[in-house]
Structure 1
Amino acid sequence: MSKNSPHFVKKLIANVGNESDYVKRSVALFLNYHPINEFEPFFESIGLEPSEFSAFLPRNLMFLSDEVGLLDKYHVLCKYGIARVQMGKIYREAREVFRYDKGVLQSKLLGFEQVGMRKDFISRAVRFNLCILINGINEEFLELVSRLKCLGFENSLFEQKFFETTSYNWRQINHLLQLLLQYLGCRRCPGILFDHSGRRRPALLLIGFLLKFGCSRSDICSILLRFPQIKVEKFVWNLRRAFELLFEIEMDAVNIGRIIREHFTWIGTCRVMKASYLLCHLRSGKIHLRQIIVANPLELKKWTLGAKIERVPETKEIRLQRDRNLRIKFLTSIGFVENSKEIENVLKICRGKGEELPERFDLFVKAGISESDVTKMIRRAPQILNQSAEALEAKINVIVNELGYPVSKISSYPKVLQYTMDRVKVRCAMHRWLLEQFVVRSTLSLYSIIGSTKSCFVNTFVNRHPLGPQVWQEYKLKKANSGQY
């Protein structure tokens, strides 16, 4: 023990001096009056550092013989080939192993042999996964090994899987095995049984995923038996990523389920890109992307991480969707609420190109109408935005500069911009003539003059003067080929 406790020996020598002729006698004399704590060299000899074992030193004990069974457990572990320096790890992480009643530890190790495990495997297993010696976990571990042997699995397969990870949860693996046997009828358990079947439970998530998308028991059993060479955790992650892509492009549940069932294997082995990235780089709308995938799900293989993205040819649907998005962006910028009933009604009427709408808005502002009043105009008559900026500018110029109306008349009756300028000019000319004849008021609104129907205008204004019909016909003849009025 002292040979493997250099720190303890160095500390002891420091107390008695280091003259070679007197070291042995000095140590013996020192120990007569200063008995040592035997736990210190013991803990150091099994691989614990002094800073670690200080917390483990018993308060009222000095000699190893006082700790009943401690050395017995040490010798049992040595018998099974557990290296001395590894015992410190066992004491640190599974201290209860050294406190078992007499014969308990021996019986646990014999239990491993009884299920066919070799001593060298038991030694490696204990070093690799200490929990198999702990009560409860030990029984679950042995139960799993026994059940696998009953199913015809060789210990070599189990031993190979055992050393791939230290995160096994034996209870969950037992539950998964029971699920595979009783519910799915799958007796030839695949490698997924040991594939990170710990706290994350990816195998159970995988089965739940398949059931959610309509796979039958026989389908799931068949899938698991021909499971690809990939970690289940990664496979489930890839499936979830593909599902998120299909969900984000608003694909219906029926098609999502069909695609995942029919192309389950390769979807789980491919890491597809995110929907936002695809839509941006493909320059495609959600509708078009859905159509492509539904028609040929294998197209998803082209959109995996690391693959070169080739843009989808722009279709009418893509152009319409992009223009709609621009119109929504413009309308929300001037005060409309996105996804509201009001904005949907405006979108149905407003067919102007989304990229040109800001220019048309600015045109009204430059003409002297405040931004708030322009917004009110658009709410009352969204169709005015369907005209080009040049046409709007020409109409404003006629109404304000030629006919002499203030710009406020346009903001109070924006629909005047919907009519042809020939109609506006003819009716305004007729109104001025009637004013000169003192048969109408000068305070009439543009709506009364321009917005009324042809028959109403004739009955209300033209026929109020005996020469009115004749003058009206003369004005109409001048503009006969210019448009309707």
Structure 2
Amino acid sequence: MAEEAMLDYFYSTRSLQYMVAESMSKNSPLFIGNLLKKVNFVGASDISQCITRHLRFHPVNEFEPFLESSGLKPTEYTHLVPSDELFLNKLLLENHHVLCYSGVDPKRIGKIFEEAREVFGYETGVLASKIKAYEDLGFSRLFLSKLIACSPRILIGATNVQLPKVMEKLKALGFDSDWVMKHLSEEASYDWSSVYRTLSFLRDLFVDEDELRGLIREHPRLIFEDSGEWTLILAGFQTKLGSSRSEFCSLFQRFPQVQVERCVMNLRSCFLFLKEIEMEDDEIRRVFGSHSWWLGSCRLKKTSSLLINLKAYKSRVCEVVKENPEEIKKWTMGSKVEPLPDTEGYMDSKAMKTQFLLDLGYKENSEEMERALKSFRGRGSELRERFNVLVSLGFNEKDVKDMVKASPNILTQACDVLETKVNYLVNELGYPHSTLVAFPSCLKFTLQRMKLRFEMFSWLRARGKANPKLAVSTLVASSDKDFVKYFVNRHPDGLKHFEDLKNQLL
């Protein structure tokens, strides 16, 4: 009854065309519902009279039911409703009529209003002439109505020159307008310049016309998904990887059954994964050159999660991928990732680590030993080498054992790095070996951090702003924020000198 009352109001009182008035009253349930909340009525029988009385003193904004009945939701049309107009104007209604007469579904006209609002301000005859220009190019009314609903902006400015070029290329390949209509989505918006560029790229890539025809028939999304933009992005990605023409063709001919955007995202994820496991660039190119067609359908787990689940270091995972890239298929989202099998080299290395820990005084098969094994990175032979380097630098073997047990991570560093840090602390700064035995964790910090902290400390001490007996652990281990707060700021020029040192050392 409310709909009938609104129809009577729009048609009889406002003198809108009957088709428009009927659509606005019957296809705007949210608008009608909101209106009923504002009207006081006793029963259904007096709804019509109450609405008529209400509208006499409270005229509605006609753009709201017009846009809702044209296929838009309130969240989509709220910003389109004019703030200075209540009533639909003559030109808007005329152009609306032209669109409907041309075969455009009234429920799709909201999208045209949203994307090409200028169309509804055309003077009498302008819109009809633009539509006729496309009809003169040989487009049927049915096909043109679908094009307008999908690409409203073809009605703005001069006739879109790329659209007929696209149709000409497709027609030459054996695809008619019915085929194009079948693969156009009214939910999408098409840029025919981009479609033309994509089609031209594929035409240049495939010399054999039959191959190109088969490709487009099998994967029409290559030219229609996002107007072909993702296909061009994919081409750019593969070009940067150094793909050859034959590799390009192989990728498109064996294109995975996924959206082009998803394919690009998956390839990017795989590329980042290979970079994160530190694979060489030439090897990455080799993997993508031969395997892009299925990598595009692999949505990988995060690298950090994979390394944990595979229970392997980056170097090991990298070697596995080099030997057989198809192992990657087992590491996708939703799959259960099994640890990599132990290699002979890994078992030998573990045995060396175990023997090294036994020599340090750990008990075999104890929880303490298991924790220590997890703390040590690198090959077993490297741990012994690094241990021997510390002994050669003036520490006795017992002290080195105590240092390693207290801070196992110091042996994750290369021999030359350990030697440089010890020489700096002992030979340049003059700290006794006992200082490092008491605080071995200082060797975990970078040499740049050490130099920055100790040079700043020396500068403050020379100006009487620091305790000469300050512990190494306090200097090196405190956070940057605390170091600035409790030491650097003791001198008015301290912060400036600290920043100058940073620029020199870091």
2:179 maps to a residue whose letter is L
Query: How many aligned positions are there?
Result: 338
Q: Say whether residues 1:278 and 2:320 are aligned partners.
A: no
Please name the residue that 2:177 is paired with. Answer: 155
Q: Say whether residues 1:196 and 2:218 are aligned partners.
A: no
Task: Give yes or no for contact 1:116–1:155 (8 Å, CA) kept in 2.
Answer: no
1:268 maps to a residue whose letter is G
How far apart are 1:277 and its partner, in Å? 1.6
Q: Partner of 1:197: helix, strand, or coil?
A: helix
User: Could you say if the C-alpha distance between residues 363 and 410 of structure 1 is closer, same or farther in structure 2, counting changes exceeding 3 Å?
Assistant: farther
Q: 2-side partners of 1:304 and 1:63: how far apart?
A: 55
User: Could you say if the C-alpha distance between residues 310 and 126 of structure 1 is closer, same or farther in structure 2, counting changes exceeding 3 Å?
Assistant: same
Please name the residue that 2:270 is paired with. Answer: 242
Q: Partner of 2:178: helix, strand, or coil?
A: helix
Q: Partner of 1:181: helix, strand, or coil?
A: helix
Q: Partner of 1:196: helix, strand, or coil?
A: helix
Q: Say whether residues 1:176 and 2:186 are aligned partners.
A: no
Consecutive unaligned residues of structure 2, counting only runs of 5 or more, are 1-9, 12-17, 26-30, 40-45, 357-370, 378-382, 392-397, 408-417, 426-430, 438-506
Please name the residue that 1:349 is paired with. Answer: 389
Please name the residue that 1:210 is paired with. Answer: 238
2:290 maps to a residue whose letter is E
User: Could you say if the C-alpha distance between residues 81 and 358 of structure 1 is closer, same or farther in structure 2, counting changes exceeding 3 Å?
Assistant: farther
How far apart are 1:216 and its partner, in Å? 1.9
Please name the residue that 1:295 is paired with. Answer: 323
User: Could you say if the C-alpha distance between residues 259 and 73 of structure 1 is closer, same or farther in structure 2, counting changes exceeding 3 Å?
Assistant: same
How far apart are 1:302 and its partner, in Å? 1.6
How far apart are 1:89 and its partner, in Å? 5.0
2:155 maps to a residue whose letter is L
Q: 1-side partners of 2:305 and 2:254: how far apart?
A: 32
TM superposition score normalised by structure 1: 0.55
User: Could you say if the C-alpha distance between residues 221 and 108 of structure 1 is closer, same or farther in structure 2, counting changes exceeding 3 Å?
Assistant: farther
User: Could you say if the C-alpha distance between residues 264 and 301 of structure 1 is closer, same or farther in structure 2, counting changes exceeding 3 Å?
Assistant: same
User: Could you say if the C-alpha distance between residues 237 and 63 of structure 1 is closer, same or farther in structure 2, counting changes exceeding 3 Å?
Assistant: closer
Cα displacement string for residues 220-278 of structure 1 (whole angstroms, at most 9, x for unaligned residues): 13432342321111111111111111111111122211111112211111222232222
Please name the residue that 1:258 is paired with. Answer: 286
Q: 1-side partners of 2:283 and 2:432: how far apart?
A: 55
Please name the residue that 2:116 is paired with. Answer: 94
Q: 2:103 aligns with which of 81, 88, 102?
A: 81
Q: 2-side partners of 1:186 and 1:164: how far apart?
A: 32
Counterparts of residues 393-404 of structure 1 (less than 5 Å)? none
Q: 2-side partners of 1:91 and 1:245: how far apart?
A: 44
Task: Give yes or no for contact 1:238–1:271 (8 Å, CA) kept in 2.
Answer: yes
How far apart are 1:291 and its partner, in Å? 1.7
Q: 1-side partners of 2:375 and 2:188: how far apart?
A: 53
1:208 maps to a residue whose letter is G
Please name the residue that 1:424 is paired with. Answer: none
Q: 2-side partners of 1:360 and 1:290: how far apart?
A: 35
Please name the residue that 1:360 is paired with. Answer: 402
User: Could you say if the C-alpha distance between residues 93 and 272 of structure 1 is closer, same or farther in structure 2, counting changes exceeding 3 Å?
Assistant: closer
Q: 1-side partners of 2:85 and 2:399: how far apart?
A: 81
User: Could you say if the C-alpha distance between residues 248 and 260 of structure 1 is closer, same or farther in structure 2, counting changes exceeding 3 Å?
Assistant: same
How far apart are 1:165 and its partner, in Å? 4.5
User: Could you say if the C-alpha distance between residues 143 and 268 of structure 1 is closer, same or farther in structure 2, counting changes exceeding 3 Å?
Assistant: same
Q: 1:110 aligns with which of 104, 126, 132?
A: 132
Cα displacement string for residues 49-84 of structure 1 (whole angstroms, at most 9, x for unaligned residues): 9986553639xxx996xx5x5554333223123344
User: Could you say if the C-alpha distance between residues 136 and 314 of structure 1 is closer, same or farther in structure 2, counting changes exceeding 3 Å?
Assistant: farther
Q: 1-side partners of 2:143 and 2:173: how far apart?
A: 21
User: Could you say if the C-alpha distance between residues 115 and 165 of structure 1 is closer, same or farther in structure 2, counting changes exceeding 3 Å?
Assistant: farther
How far apart are 1:318 and its partner, in Å? 4.8
Q: Partner of 2:296: helix, strand, or coil?
A: helix
Task: Give yes or no for contact 1:238–1:267 (8 Å, CA) kept in 2.
Answer: yes
User: Could you say if the C-alpha distance between residues 225 and 133 of structure 1 is closer, same or farther in structure 2, counting changes exceeding 3 Å?
Assistant: farther
1:147 maps to a residue whose letter is K
Q: Partner of 2:83: helix, strand, or coil?
A: coil
1:149 maps to a residue whose letter is K
Task: Give yes or no for contact 2:198–2:232 (8 Å, CA) kept in 1.
Answer: yes
Q: 2-side partners of 1:115 and 1:150: how far apart?
A: 16
Q: 1-side partners of 2:137 and 2:234: how far apart?
A: 31
Q: Percent identity?
A: 29
User: Could you say if the C-alpha distance between residues 327 and 361 of structure 1 is closer, same or farther in structure 2, counting changes exceeding 3 Å?
Assistant: farther
1:242 maps to a residue whose letter is C
Counterparts of residues 317-396 of structure 1 (less than 5 Å)? 318=346, 349=389, 360-361=402-403, 379=422
Q: 1-side partners of 2:302 and 2:388: how far apart?
A: 31
Task: Give yes or no for contact 2:320–2:327 (8 Å, CA) kept in 1.
Answer: yes
How far apart are 1:117 and its partner, in Å? 4.2
User: Could you say if the C-alpha distance between residues 72 and 306 of structure 1 is closer, same or farther in structure 2, counting changes exceeding 3 Å?
Assistant: closer
Please name the residue that 2:251 is paired with. Answer: 223
How far apart are 1:363 and its partner, in Å? 8.0
Task: Give yes or no for contact 2:298–2:329 (8 Å, CA) kept in 1.
Answer: yes
User: Could you say if the C-alpha distance between residues 257 and 110 of structure 1 is closer, same or farther in structure 2, counting changes exceeding 3 Å?
Assistant: same
Cα displacement string for residues 285-312 of structure 1 (whole angstroms, at most 9, x for unaligned residues): 2222122111111211121222222212
Task: Give yes or no for contact 1:184–1:217 (8 Å, CA) kept in 2.
Answer: no
How far apart are 1:85 and its partner, in Å? 5.5
Q: 2-side partners of 1:317 and 1:182: how far apart?
A: 50
Q: 1-side partners of 2:237 and 2:313: how far apart?
A: 28
The Cα RMSD (Å) is: 5.1
2:422 maps to a residue whose letter is R
Q: Partner of 1:106: helix, strand, or coil?
A: helix
Task: Give yes or no for contact 1:249–1:289 (8 Å, CA) kept in 2.
Answer: yes
Q: 2-side partners of 1:107 and 1:87: how far apart?
A: 18
How far apart are 1:197 and its partner, in Å? 3.0
Q: 2-side partners of 1:364 and 1:279: how far apart?
A: 27
Q: Partner of 1:306: helix, strand, or coil?
A: coil
User: Could you say if the C-alpha distance between residues 274 and 358 of structure 1 is closer, same or farther in structure 2, counting changes exceeding 3 Å?
Assistant: farther
How far apart are 1:158 and its partner, in Å? 1.5
Q: Partner of 2:98: helix, strand, or coil?
A: helix
Cα displacement string for residues 174-214 of structure 1 (whole angstroms, at most 9, x for unaligned residues): 2222222346647526324335335x932112112222333
